[in-house]
Amino acid sequence: MPNSDLLPSQLFKINENQLALEAAIMELTIWVEQRGATEVAENVHAALEAIDRNEEFIKMTLAVMMAPE
């Protein structure tokens, strides 16, 4: 298998890790927010918006890369 064939799988796994980290950070954010640190929680939510904005593009790119030729 050429190394280029591994790229879509690698990118898929990186994206999967990114989404798992986002979920874990959201859990911690909720915990922090419940303890009154709303400003910190708002900052985290704002930072995580980048993941949300880019998720659809990443999924589309992976679908194109993994599509049979």
Structure confidence by residue, pLDDT tens digits, 26-61: 999 999 999 999 999 999 999 999 888 888 888 888
pLDDT given for residue 21 in this prediction: 94
pLDDT given for residue 66 in this prediction: 76
pLDDT given for residue 42 in this prediction: 93
pLDDT given for residue 32 in this prediction: 95
For residue 46 the two structure tokens come to 């704002």
14: left (phi over 0), alpha (psi -120 to 50) or beta: alpha
For residue 50 the two structure tokens come to 């980048």
Cα separation of 50 and 69, whole Å? 31
Q: For the chain, what is the largest distance between any 2 Cα atoms, rounded to a whole number of angstroms? A: 53
Cα separation of 59 and 4, whole Å? 18
In the predicted structure, residue 68 carries a pLDDT above the cut 80:
no
